[in-house]
Amino acid sequence: MKWLRTLVLFDRGEVVSSLDWDRIHQSFVRSIESIGSPEGSGKLVLRRKSQDPISKQWNRNGVGYLRSRFLEHMVKIEGWQAEGEVDLQHLEEQPEFHLYPSMESYSEPITSAFGDFDFVTTTDGGIRVAIEWETGNISSSHRSLNKLSIVLAAKKIQAGVLILPSRSLYEHLTDRIGNIGELSPYLGMWKSMGTAVERGMLAIAVVEHDELTDDPKFPYLKVGKDGRAIEGKGKRINPTT
Protein backbone atom coordinates (compact mmCIF):
# COMPACT_ATOMS: atom_id res chain seq x y z
CA MET A 1 0.00 0.00 0.00
CA LYS A 2 1.18 3.50 -0.74
CA TRP A 3 1.33 6.41 1.67
CA LEU A 4 0.58 9.50 -0.43
CA ARG A 5 0.75 12.44 1.96
CA THR A 6 0.11 13.65 5.51
CA LEU A 7 -1.92 16.83 5.89
CA VAL A 8 -1.29 18.73 9.12
CA LEU A 9 -4.58 20.50 9.84
CA PHE A 10 -3.22 22.31 12.87
CA ASP A 11 -0.14 22.21 15.09
CA ARG A 12 -0.07 24.01 18.41
CA GLY A 13 3.10 24.00 20.48
CA GLU A 14 5.28 22.70 17.62
CA VAL A 15 4.47 19.06 18.20
CA VAL A 16 5.12 18.42 14.52
CA SER A 17 8.76 19.47 15.01
CA SER A 18 9.41 16.97 17.79
CA LEU A 19 11.51 13.83 17.42
CA ASP A 20 8.64 11.85 18.97
CA TRP A 21 6.24 12.86 16.20
CA ASP A 22 8.86 12.06 13.56
CA ARG A 23 9.24 8.59 15.07
CA ILE A 24 5.49 8.01 15.17
CA HIS A 25 5.06 9.26 11.60
CA GLN A 26 7.82 7.07 10.19
CA SER A 27 6.39 4.14 12.11
CA PHE A 28 2.83 4.40 10.82
CA VAL A 29 4.06 5.08 7.28
CA ARG A 30 6.09 1.85 7.40
CA SER A 31 3.00 0.06 8.69
CA ILE A 32 0.93 1.45 5.82
CA GLU A 33 3.55 0.39 3.28
CA SER A 34 3.72 -3.11 4.80
CA ILE A 35 0.11 -3.86 3.79
CA GLY A 36 0.11 -6.21 0.84
CA SER A 37 -2.25 -8.40 -1.11
CA PRO A 38 -1.56 -11.13 -1.93
CA GLU A 39 0.15 -11.41 1.44
CA GLY A 40 3.91 -11.42 1.13
CA SER A 41 3.87 -9.73 -2.28
CA GLY A 42 5.23 -6.44 -0.94
CA LYS A 43 2.48 -4.42 -2.62
CA LEU A 44 -1.26 -3.94 -2.47
CA VAL A 45 -2.87 -5.20 -5.67
CA LEU A 46 -6.64 -4.72 -5.67
CA ARG A 47 -9.26 -6.18 -7.95
CA ARG A 48 -10.81 -3.31 -9.87
CA LYS A 49 -14.49 -2.70 -9.13
CA SER A 50 -16.80 -4.47 -11.56
CA GLN A 51 -20.49 -4.27 -12.34
CA ASP A 52 -22.64 -7.36 -12.39
CA PRO A 53 -24.26 -7.51 -15.86
CA ILE A 54 -27.58 -8.73 -14.46
CA SER A 55 -28.10 -6.91 -11.15
CA LYS A 56 -26.09 -3.83 -12.24
CA GLN A 57 -24.62 -3.72 -8.71
CA TRP A 58 -20.93 -3.07 -8.18
CA ASN A 59 -18.48 -5.55 -6.68
CA ARG A 60 -15.82 -3.82 -4.58
CA ASN A 61 -13.19 -4.64 -1.96
CA GLY A 62 -13.81 -4.76 1.78
CA VAL A 63 -11.71 -2.64 4.17
CA GLY A 64 -11.32 -4.71 7.34
CA TYR A 65 -8.22 -6.51 6.06
CA LEU A 66 -6.36 -3.23 5.55
CA ARG A 67 -7.06 -1.99 9.07
CA SER A 68 -6.15 -5.28 10.76
CA ARG A 69 -2.84 -5.55 8.85
CA PHE A 70 -1.96 -1.98 9.83
CA LEU A 71 -2.65 -2.48 13.54
CA GLU A 72 -0.82 -5.81 13.56
CA HIS A 73 2.31 -4.24 12.07
CA MET A 74 2.21 -1.29 14.49
CA VAL A 75 2.19 -3.64 17.49
CA LYS A 76 4.15 -6.71 16.39
CA ILE A 77 6.76 -5.13 14.12
CA GLU A 78 7.01 -1.49 15.17
CA GLY A 79 6.77 -2.41 18.84
CA TRP A 80 4.06 0.02 19.92
CA GLN A 81 1.71 -0.93 22.73
CA ALA A 82 -1.87 -0.37 21.63
CA GLU A 83 -3.60 0.71 24.82
CA GLY A 84 -6.77 1.63 22.98
CA GLU A 85 -8.51 3.88 25.49
CA VAL A 86 -8.59 7.55 26.39
CA ASP A 87 -10.36 8.73 29.54
CA LEU A 88 -13.32 10.64 28.15
CA GLN A 89 -15.46 10.67 31.29
CA HIS A 90 -15.56 14.39 31.99
CA LEU A 91 -16.02 15.15 28.28
CA GLU A 92 -19.46 13.60 28.56
CA GLU A 93 -20.60 16.47 30.79
CA GLN A 94 -22.60 18.88 28.68
CA PRO A 95 -22.06 22.67 29.00
CA GLU A 96 -25.03 24.95 29.59
CA PHE A 97 -26.91 26.44 26.67
CA HIS A 98 -29.92 28.74 26.47
CA LEU A 99 -33.43 28.06 25.29
CA TYR A 100 -35.17 30.49 22.99
CA PRO A 101 -37.26 32.56 23.57
CA SER A 102 -37.23 32.04 27.36
CA MET A 103 -33.40 32.25 27.49
CA GLU A 104 -33.46 29.76 30.35
CA SER A 105 -30.26 27.83 31.03
CA TYR A 106 -30.44 24.30 29.68
CA SER A 107 -28.09 21.33 29.46
CA GLU A 108 -28.93 18.84 26.70
CA PRO A 109 -28.51 15.24 27.92
CA ILE A 110 -25.72 13.32 26.20
CA THR A 111 -27.15 10.06 24.92
CA SER A 112 -24.30 8.90 22.65
CA ALA A 113 -20.78 7.84 23.68
CA PHE A 114 -17.55 8.89 21.95
CA GLY A 115 -16.24 5.33 21.62
CA ASP A 116 -12.61 4.15 21.69
CA PHE A 117 -9.90 4.96 19.16
CA ASP A 118 -8.39 2.31 16.90
CA PHE A 119 -4.88 2.81 18.26
CA VAL A 120 -3.57 4.76 21.26
CA THR A 121 -0.01 4.83 22.52
CA THR A 122 2.42 7.06 24.41
CA THR A 123 5.90 7.85 23.11
CA ASP A 124 9.05 7.81 25.22
CA GLY A 125 8.84 11.61 25.29
CA GLY A 126 5.34 11.53 26.74
CA ILE A 127 3.34 12.41 23.61
CA ARG A 128 -0.01 10.64 23.68
CA VAL A 129 -1.08 9.63 20.17
CA ALA A 130 -4.47 8.43 18.92
CA ILE A 131 -4.85 6.99 15.42
CA GLU A 132 -8.08 6.19 13.59
CA TRP A 133 -8.08 3.97 10.49
CA GLU A 134 -11.18 4.68 8.42
CA THR A 135 -13.38 1.64 7.87
CA GLY A 136 -16.77 3.33 7.94
CA ASN A 137 -18.74 5.63 5.68
CA ILE A 138 -18.07 9.35 5.23
CA SER A 139 -20.04 10.29 8.36
CA SER A 140 -17.64 8.10 10.34
CA SER A 141 -14.72 10.19 9.04
CA HIS A 142 -16.41 13.35 10.29
CA ARG A 143 -16.99 11.78 13.71
CA SER A 144 -13.36 10.64 13.94
CA LEU A 145 -11.97 14.11 13.23
CA ASN A 146 -14.47 15.73 15.60
CA LYS A 147 -13.57 13.27 18.34
CA LEU A 148 -9.83 13.78 17.83
CA SER A 149 -10.29 17.57 17.94
CA ILE A 150 -12.27 17.36 21.18
CA VAL A 151 -9.75 15.17 23.01
CA LEU A 152 -6.89 17.37 21.78
CA ALA A 153 -8.61 20.43 23.25
CA ALA A 154 -9.17 18.51 26.49
CA LYS A 155 -5.40 17.72 26.69
CA LYS A 156 -6.08 13.97 26.64
CA ILE A 157 -3.78 13.47 23.64
CA GLN A 158 -1.13 15.57 21.90
CA ALA A 159 -1.34 14.05 18.42
CA GLY A 160 -4.37 12.80 16.51
CA VAL A 161 -4.23 11.07 13.12
CA LEU A 162 -6.95 9.89 10.75
CA ILE A 163 -5.81 7.48 8.02
CA LEU A 164 -8.17 7.26 5.06
CA PRO A 165 -8.28 6.42 1.34
CA SER A 166 -7.51 8.64 -1.59
CA ARG A 167 -10.35 9.32 -3.98
CA SER A 168 -8.83 6.82 -6.40
CA LEU A 169 -8.70 4.03 -3.81
CA TYR A 170 -12.22 4.85 -2.62
CA GLU A 171 -13.63 3.92 -6.03
CA HIS A 172 -12.71 0.26 -5.49
CA LEU A 173 -13.75 -0.09 -1.84
CA THR A 174 -17.02 -0.73 -0.01
CA ASP A 175 -19.82 1.71 -0.88
CA ARG A 176 -19.45 5.23 0.56
CA ILE A 177 -16.25 4.55 2.52
CA GLY A 178 -14.71 7.71 3.97
CA ASN A 179 -12.18 9.36 1.67
CA ILE A 180 -10.16 12.56 1.38
CA GLY A 181 -12.16 13.80 -1.60
CA GLU A 182 -15.40 14.06 0.34
CA LEU A 183 -13.69 15.54 3.40
CA SER A 184 -11.82 18.22 1.45
CA PRO A 185 -14.52 20.96 1.68
CA TYR A 186 -14.47 20.74 5.49
CA LEU A 187 -10.72 20.83 6.19
CA GLY A 188 -10.76 24.56 6.94
CA MET A 189 -13.30 23.96 9.71
CA TRP A 190 -11.06 21.43 11.46
CA LYS A 191 -8.07 23.73 11.00
CA SER A 192 -9.96 26.46 12.89
CA MET A 193 -10.63 24.06 15.79
CA GLY A 194 -6.92 24.26 16.60
CA THR A 195 -7.54 27.59 18.34
CA ALA A 196 -9.04 25.64 21.27
CA VAL A 197 -5.92 23.45 21.63
CA GLU A 198 -3.07 24.49 23.91
CA ARG A 199 -0.57 21.91 22.66
CA GLY A 200 -1.36 19.31 20.05
CA MET A 201 -1.62 18.50 16.36
CA LEU A 202 -4.25 17.01 14.09
CA ALA A 203 -3.31 15.27 10.85
CA ILE A 204 -4.79 13.22 8.01
CA ALA A 205 -2.72 10.56 6.25
CA VAL A 206 -3.93 9.62 2.76
CA VAL A 207 -3.30 6.11 1.44
CA GLU A 208 -3.73 4.31 -1.87
CA HIS A 209 -3.34 0.92 -3.58
CA ASP A 210 -0.17 0.08 -5.52
CA GLU A 211 -1.88 -1.58 -8.48
CA LEU A 212 -5.29 -2.54 -9.86
CA THR A 213 -6.11 -5.72 -11.73
CA ASP A 214 -9.05 -6.93 -13.82
CA ASP A 215 -8.02 -10.58 -13.49
CA PRO A 216 -11.25 -12.47 -12.60
CA LYS A 217 -9.18 -15.05 -10.72
CA PHE A 218 -7.94 -12.36 -8.33
CA PRO A 219 -10.23 -12.25 -5.26
CA TYR A 220 -11.78 -9.10 -3.86
CA LEU A 221 -10.78 -8.31 -0.29
CA LYS A 222 -13.40 -9.76 2.02
CA VAL A 223 -16.34 -7.49 2.82
CA GLY A 224 -17.38 -7.03 6.44
CA LYS A 225 -20.64 -8.00 8.08
CA ASP A 226 -22.04 -4.68 9.23
CA GLY A 227 -23.19 -1.26 8.06
CA ARG A 228 -22.80 -0.22 4.45
CA ALA A 229 -20.50 -3.16 3.78
CA ILE A 230 -23.15 -5.81 4.37
CA GLU A 231 -25.77 -3.67 2.63
CA GLY A 232 -23.66 -3.53 -0.51
CA LYS A 233 -22.77 -7.20 -0.25
CA GLY A 234 -26.41 -8.16 0.03
CA LYS A 235 -27.14 -6.54 -3.32
CA ARG A 236 -24.61 -8.61 -5.21
CA ILE A 237 -25.16 -11.83 -7.07
CA ASN A 238 -22.55 -14.50 -6.27
CA PRO A 239 -20.18 -12.06 -4.51
CA THR A 240 -16.52 -13.01 -4.21
CA THR A 241 -14.91 -13.09 -0.79
Q: What is the mean pLDDT of residues 7-13?
A: 98
Model confidence at 229: pLDDT above 70: no
DSSP character at residue 172: T
Beta bridge partners of 58: 51
The catalytically annotated residue of 93, 134, 171, 198 is 134
The counts of H helices and E strands in the chain are 7, 11
Instruction: Kindly report, residue by residue over 66-95, the tens digit of the pLDDT.
Output: 999 999 999 999 999 776 677 766 666 778
Choose between 174 and 71: higher pLDDT: 71
- Residue 134 among the catalytic residues: yes
Beta-bridge partners for 165: 207
Which domains does the chain possess? 2-83+117-234 (3.40.91.20)
Nearest CA to 229 among 120, 112, 140, 124? Answer: 140
Per-residue pLDDT, averaged over 146-156, amounts to 94
Looking from the CA of 225 toward its CB, the CA atoms found within 13 Å total 0
Give the Cα-Cα-Cα angle 7, 12, 158 (nearest 5 degrees): 80
Summarize the confidence of residues 151-174 as an average pLDDT.
95
Helix/strand/coil for 120? strand
Q: Quick one: pLDDT band at residue 232, thresholds 50, 70, 90?
A: very low
pTM assigned to the model: 0.88
Binned at pLDDT 50, 70 and 90, residue 230 comes out as very low
d(C-alpha 156, C-alpha 187), whole Å: 22
